[in-house]
Amino acid sequence: MDILVTEQSNMVFHNKIEMTMKRLIRQSLYHFIMAYTSHILGQVKTLGFQQATAMSISLEKDDLLAIPSK
């Protein structure tokens, strides 16, 4: 579980998505066989790619900062 404390405040950040995914995997393995759990996780991965595409998130070579060569 990722828990980070910000430097400027006493607020604690909990990575809820990671905790939710771990819970999904644990419950899936408990209730189903490994093959079905792998299928579920593949569908979750595909959904993530589809949502990233729908949100038009992309990086191009020109978007990245380059260190000038010496």
> Could you list the mean pLDDT of each consecutive 10-residue stretch along the chain, which spans 70 residues?
49 72 88 88 87 73 71
Phi, psi of 45 (to 5 degrees): -65, -45
The three-class DSSP label of residue 12 is: strand
- How many Å apart are CA 28 and CA 36, to the nearest integer? 8
> What is the pTM assigned to this prediction?
0.50
Sorted by where each begins, the domain ranges of the chain are 3-58
> What pLDDT score does 6 carry?
45
Given a contact cutoff of 8 angstroms between Cβ atoms, the answer to whether 37 and 25 are in contact is yes
